[in-house]
């Protein structure tokens, strides 16, 4: 268990709705800014590159074809020039980065979280296991292989996206792997004020239950971007508020004032000794667990559309012996 102090940053900024190039530039600038503040762990919003599919929340399915295809064109392939640029910035600054992207894998899109370690390597690529509500029109489903805690330069990092935090078994899968820092993110600028309130409750609860730090990032839309997504003022109400960028201690406390509107970042120091202080009282996967009564079965195999079963090579010496017997 780590006992040092890690400075973390949760970033709340607007994407570039014109495409991934502009948004990646914003990511790189934010990495530099956070690192200049001493951050060694930096979290960005959900599917920030190129942008969260806000259109799917306010448009009926029959009108989503064009923006959905545009999202396909601007989505990120892993690996690619974009992921290499982030990896290089990560290596240069020596920080661990958690970045949400729309990942394109041939004919499908996924809500994907990328964890870059401080040396620039990709420590984890995971996909949201169940897209929520309108998102099911946009993304495919992830698998249990992504419910993995990554060993990084700042400790054991787990990650979930948005309403995956309402799946207690998904959270428990990470808790059982003893995550020390939990990276989470939401789209932000969605639903309304109640969304931000719910995010805060959820993040504080996970910190308490897991006995870990939670670094949560939500996105932000400007008024101009909201008008660009939809011109109807009534529907625009669903594209405001809902932000709660925050950093929570294992004791469920905010370590800095949360950010609920505008662009910026929340920066705080994570005193890793607080993990043991919390778990001494309640370790939900250790002395407070009852695995003989209740335990999780986690299928961590990646799901594949095709399995190849190859016939074994024949035992040639045996066949040769059989042929000799036939000739006798």
Round to whole Å and give the CA distance between 207 and 211: 5
Round to whole Å and give the CA distance between 266 and 155: 20
Question: Annotated catalytic, 243?
Answer: no
The active-site residue out of 103, 135, 162, 212 is 162
Residue 296 burial class via C-beta count within 10 angstroms: exposed 0-12, middle 13-18, buried 19 and up: middle
The active-site residue out of 46, 135, 164, 180 is 46
The active-site residue out of 74, 125, 128, 164 is 128
**Segment 138-144 long-range contacts (CB within 8 Å, at least 24 positions apart):** 138/53, 138/56, 138/68, 138/71, 138/109, 139/102, 139/108, 139/109, 139/110, 139/111, 140/108, 140/109, 140/110, 142/110, 142/111, 142/112, 143/301, 143/302, 143/303, 144/173, 144/298, 144/299, 144/300, 144/301
Question: Annotated catalytic, 246?
Answer: no
Round to whole Å and give the CA distance between 95 and 302: 28
Give the phi and the psi of residue 148 in degrees, each rounded to 5: -130, 135
Question: Annotated catalytic, 273?
Answer: no
Active site residues: 46, 128, 162
């Amino acid at each position: 268990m780590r006992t040092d102090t890690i400075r973390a940053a949760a970033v709340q900024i607007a994407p570039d709705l014109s495409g991934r190039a502009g948004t990646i530039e914003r990511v790189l600038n934010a990495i530099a800014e956070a690192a200049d503040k001493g951050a060694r762990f930096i979290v960005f919003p959900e599917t920030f590159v190129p942008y969260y599919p806000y259109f799917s929340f306010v448009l009926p399915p029959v009108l989503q074809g064009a923006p959905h295809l545009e999202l396909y064109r601007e989505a990120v392939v892993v690996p690619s020039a974009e992921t290499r640029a982030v990896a290089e910035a990560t290596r240069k600054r020596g920080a661990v980065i958690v970045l949400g992207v729309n990942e394109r894998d041939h004919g499908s899109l996924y809500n994907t979280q990328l964890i870059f370690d401080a040396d620039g390597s990709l420590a984890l690529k995971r996909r949201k296991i169940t897209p929520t509500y309108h998102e099911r029109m946009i993304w495919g489903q992830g698998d249990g292989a992504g419910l993995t805690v990554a060993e990084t330069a700042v400790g054991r990092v787990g990650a979930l996206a948005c309403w995956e935090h309402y799946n207690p078994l998904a959270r428990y899968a990470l808790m059982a792997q003893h995550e020390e820092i939990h990276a989470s993110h939401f789209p932000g600028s969605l639903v309304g004020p109640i969304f931000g309130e719910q995010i805060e409750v959820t993040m504080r609860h996970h910190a308490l239950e897991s006995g870990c730090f939670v670094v949560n990032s939500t996105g932000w839309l400007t008024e101009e971007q909201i008008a660009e997504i939809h011109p109807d003022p009534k529907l625009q109400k669903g594209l405001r508020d809902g932000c709660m960028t925050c950093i929570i201690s294992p004791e469920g406390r905010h370590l800095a004032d949360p950010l609920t509107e505008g662009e910026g970042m929340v920066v705080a120091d994570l005193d890793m000794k607080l993990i043991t202080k919390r778990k001494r009282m309640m370790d939900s996967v250790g002395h407070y667990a009852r695995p003989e009564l209740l335990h999780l079965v986690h299928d961590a195999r990646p799901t594949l559309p095709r399995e190849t079963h190859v016939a074994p090579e024949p035992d040639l010496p045996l066949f040769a012996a059989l042929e000799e017997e036939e000739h006798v």
